C-alpha cells in the first residue's frame, strides 16, 4: 500500500549518508557544487530511496560499482528536488554499458515494408522497466554542466514524460489547468526549433529536440539545467514553464558562465 511505501521511504531517508558516496558525487557530479546545502540534503535522501528501489545491471562486461550507481542516481534524483515524487514508478532497472552501444532498430518504409538495422546509442528510456546508459557518457555529461548535454537528465526526463503512459512531451502536471499553458508554450517552441533547425540557424536548444515533442522535452530539460541563463534570455516562456514544473530556478544559482 502507498502509505507503507511512504513509511519505508521516510526510514530510508533517515539513514546516514555514506561519506564515500558523498565523495563520489563531489568528484563526478559538478552540478552538486552549485546546489544549496538544503538541496544537497534533500538530494541525498532521494538518492538513498532511489538506490534501495532500483536495480543496476552491467552490460558488455561492465562491473557495476558504487561509483556507477551513485553517479547516476545523483543526476536522476536532481529532477525530483522540491517535487512530490513516486521515484520513477515504472522504472525497475538501469542497464549500464561501458560506452556507446549498438541497438537494433526497425523503421517502416511504406507499403508494409520494414527496414531493420542498428543504431549507435548513448542512452534509451523504455516506458516500462528500464533506462539504458553509456557509462562514458554519464561521466562526460556529469563533468561539464554548461554544454547542455547530459544523458542521465535526458533519459530520466523521458521517464517523467512516460509516467502517464505515452512519451509525448507532456509529463504529469500538478493541475489539469496547467496543461493549457504547457501545450501553448512548448508547442510554439517546438515549432520554432523545427524551423530554426531546417534553416540551419544557431540555437540554444540542441537541434535533436526537433525530432519529436518527446525529444524536445528531454532536450529542453538538459538545457534548463545546463544552459539556464541562455535559455531564460532567449526562451523566457519555455524557461518559466520548466521552472514551474521542476520547482527549481537554476538561472538564480551561483553559475554565471553563460
pLDDT digits (tens, 9 = 90+) for 41-61: 999 999 999 999 999 999 999
- What's the CA gap between 1 and 7, in Å, rounded? 10
Q: What is the DSSP string of 112-142?
A: TEEEEEEEEESEEE-SSEEEEEEHHHHHHHH
pLDDT reported for residue 115: 57
> What does the block give as the cell for 143?
563533468
pLDDT reported for residue 121: 76
**Is residue 20's pLDDT more than 50?**
yes
Residue with more model confidence, 176 or 254: 176
DSSP character at residue 97: E
pLDDT in tens, 120-174: 778 889 877 899 999 999 999 999 999 999 999 999 999 999 998 788 999 999 8
**Is residue 256's pLDDT more than 50?**
no
Q: What is the residue whose three cell numbers read 542521465? A: 152
Show Cβ contacts of residue 188 under 8 Å, excluding neighbours closer than 6 positions: 237
In this prediction, residues 10-33 reach a mean pLDDT of: 96
In this prediction, residues 72-88 reach a mean pLDDT of: 96
Residue with more model confidence, 32 or 107: 32
The neighbouring-strand residues paired with 130 are 93
- What's the CA gap between 52 and 109, in Å, rounded? 44
Q: Tell me the pLDDT band of 108, cut-offs 50, 70 and 90.
A: low
Domains of the chain (ranges; CATH) run: 168-258 (3.40.390.10)
Q: What is the residue whose three cell numbers read 514551474? A: 244
pLDDT reported for residue 105: 64
In this prediction, residues 85-101 reach a mean pLDDT of: 93
pLDDT reported for residue 179: 95
pLDDT reported for residue 110: 57
Amino acid at each position: 500500500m502507498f502509505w507503507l511505501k511512504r513509511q519505508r521511504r521516510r526510514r530510508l531517508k533517515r539513514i546516514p549518508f555514506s561519506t564515500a558516496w558523498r565523495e563520489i558525487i563531489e568528484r563526478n557530479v559538478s552540478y552538486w557544487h552549485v546546489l544549496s546545502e538544503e538541496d544537497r540534503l534533500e538530494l541525498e535522501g532521494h538518492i538513498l530511496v532511489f538506490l534501495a528501489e532500483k536495480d543496476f545491471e552491467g552490460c558488455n562486461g561492465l562491473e557495476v560499482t558504487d561509483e556507477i550507481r551513485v553517479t547516476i542516481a545523483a543526476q536522476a534524483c536532481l529532477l525530483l528536488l522540491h517535487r512530490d515524487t513516486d521515484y520513477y514508478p515504472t522504472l525497475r532497472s538501469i542497464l549500464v554499458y561501458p560506452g556507446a552501444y549498438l541497438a537494433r532498430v526497425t523503421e517502416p518504409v511504406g507499403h508494409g515494408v520494414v527496414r531493420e538495422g542498428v543504431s549507435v546509442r548513448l542512452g534509451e528510456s523504455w516506458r516500462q522497466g528500464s533506462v539504458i546508459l553509456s557509462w562514458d557518457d554519464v561521466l562526460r555529461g556529469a563533468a561539464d554542466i554548461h554544454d547542455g548535454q547530459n544523458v542521465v537528465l535526458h533519459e530520466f526526463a523521458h521517464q517523467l514524460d512516460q509516467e502517464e503512459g505515452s512519451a509525448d512531451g507532456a509529463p504529469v502536471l500538478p493541475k489539469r489547468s496547467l496543461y493549457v499553458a504547457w501545450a501553448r508554450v512548448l508547442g510554439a517552441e517546438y515549432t520554432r526549433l523545427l524551423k530554426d533547425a531546417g534553416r540551419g540557424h544557431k540555437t540554444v536548444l540542441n537541434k535533436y529536440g526537433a525530432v519529436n515533442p518527446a525529444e524536445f522535452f528531454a532536450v529542453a530539460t538538459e538545457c534548463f539545467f545546463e544552459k539556464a541563463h541562455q535559455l531564460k534570455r532567449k526562451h523566457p516562456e519555455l524557461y518559466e514553464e520548466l521552472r514551474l514544473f521542476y520547482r527549481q530556478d537554476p538561472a538564480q544559482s551561483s553559475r554565471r558562465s553563460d
